[in-house]
Amino acid sequence: MPEENDPCQEMPRILAKLAGRRPALFLDFDGTLAPIVPRAADARALPQAVTAIGTLRQAGMPVVLVTGRARADLVQRLASSGLEPEGLLIAGSHGYEIEGSGIASPPVANAETRARLAVAFEPLRQRLAHFQGTEIEGKAFAIAVHWRHADPNDVPAIEAVIDALVREVPGLRKTHGKMVFELRPDVAWDKGAAVTWILAQWDDPLIMPIFIGDDVTDIDGLDAVRVGGIGIAVGSAIPPGHAHYRLPDPEGVARFLGMLGTFSVQT
Ligand SMILES: O=P(O)(O)OC[C@H]1O[C@H](O[C@H]2O[C@H](CO)[C@@H](O)[C@H](O)[C@H]2O)[C@H](O)[C@@H](O)[C@@H]1O
């Protein structure tokens, strides 16, 4: 893999790679378009990122939001930032919930996978009730347990509650992200599988995917575009070796999208 330079500094090389191709953007939300904030409910996309995405869409570039959040949550969150979901493809719940631009959910997203999480929700809530500062976020195909505001000494015990539920309720697995544990259906599906699946639906050999993400759950998405696409890590949570380029923060992402927009409008 290359040096993971700042893609804004490497624009001529990136534009050369995109020449004659159809770039398609796959964007993570928290930590990528929206700065990480103490409360999940308060996250908002940077206005400059929203403007850049609007320009790219007007220029005809496909834009897919690949988020760990529930799809409905992201739709509402984008709309409140002035980014209407029409024309956007949104892959929510880490890619289990795909809808938009004429594409509907993949075969893994069924009632059975959802029912497994429903069984776990109430015991999880009860067993975590005495851990001050934990927040449970229910989504269509995942349950997030935020421990950002919990006592750090409690985190191993919080994780043990989740591990116990994984043992007790068949068909679930544990993943983690920034100060969060998640319960997900134990099926072979993640952001990378979602990206690959969407590319297969489009079936357009000219498309060149550009994936941008900041958290360990984005590694699958970056790996999916490693050959034949462009992967951009944000910040330092993703270890070297998965991305072609690296941006420091969501402000950098907005800057990169703005530069890409300028190029798209010119061509
Ligand atoms: O895949 P993403 O779109 O990046 O979503 C990943 C998770 O993001 C949210 O949690 C994270 O961001 C919060 C707001 O900045 C922060 O408070 C929290 O500590 C982070 O873990 C979201 O709440 C989760 O559902 C997503 O899975």
CATH architecture of 111-185: 2-Layer Sandwich (3.30)
Closest ligand 1 atom number to CA of residue 73: 25
Quick one: how many helices (H) and strands (E) in the chain? 8, 11
Separation CA 196–CA 182 (nearest Å): 23
Tell me, in angstroms, the distance from the centre of ligand 1 to residue 75's CA.
15
User: What tens digit of pLDDT does each residue of 110-124 get?
Assistant: 888 888 899 999 999
Separation CA 179–CA 45 (nearest Å): 20
Closest ligand 1 atom number to CA of residue 94: 1
- Sheet containing 142-146: order of strands: 135-139, 142-146, 180-185, 172-177
Tell me, in angstroms, the distance from the centre of ligand 1 to residue 13's CA.
32
Tell me which CATH homologous superfamily contains domain 7-106+189-266.
HAD superfamily/HAD-like (3.40.50.1000)
DSSP code at position 239: P
Mutate to test the pocket of ligand 1, among 180, 215, 253 (most ligand atoms within 8 A of CB): 180
User: What tens digit of pLDDT does each residue of 16-62 get?
Assistant: 999 999 999 999 999 999 999 999 999 999 999 999 999 999 999 99
Closest ligand 1 atom number to CA of residue 137: 25
pLDDT of amino acid 160:
98
Beta strands in 155-229 (DSSP E): 172-177, 180-185, 207-213
pLDDT of amino acid 124:
97
Tell me, in angstroms, the distance from the centre of ligand 1 to residue 184's CA.
15
Ligand 1: residue whose CA is nearest its atom 13: 40
Tell me, in angstroms, the distance from the centre of ligand 1 to residue 267's CA.
35
The residues annotated as belonging to the active site are 28
What average pLDDT does this structure show over 215-232? 97
Pocket, ligand 1, Cβ cutoff 6 A: 28-31, 36-40, 43, 67-69, 137, 144, 146, 148, 177-180, 215, 217
Closest CA to 130 of 148, 150, 146: 150
User: What tens digit of pLDDT does each residue of 134-171 get?
Assistant: 999 999 899 999 999 999 999 999 999 999 999 999 99
Ligand 1: residue whose CA is nearest its atom 16: 40
Contacts of residue 192, Cβ cutoff 8 Å, sequence gap at least 6: 95, 219, 220, 221, 222, 223, 224
Sequence ranges of the chain with CATH classification 3.40.50.1000? 7-106+189-266
pLDDT of amino acid 191:
97
Tell me, in angstroms, the distance from the centre of ligand 1 to residue 217's CA.
10
Closest ligand 1 atom number to CA of residue 146: 19
Sequence ranges of the chain with CATH classification 3.30.70.1020? 111-185
User: What is the pLDDT confidence band of residue 2, given thresholds at 50, 70 and 90?
Assistant: low
Q: Give the ipTM of the model, two decimals please.
A: 0.98
Separation CA 177–CA 43 (nearest Å): 16
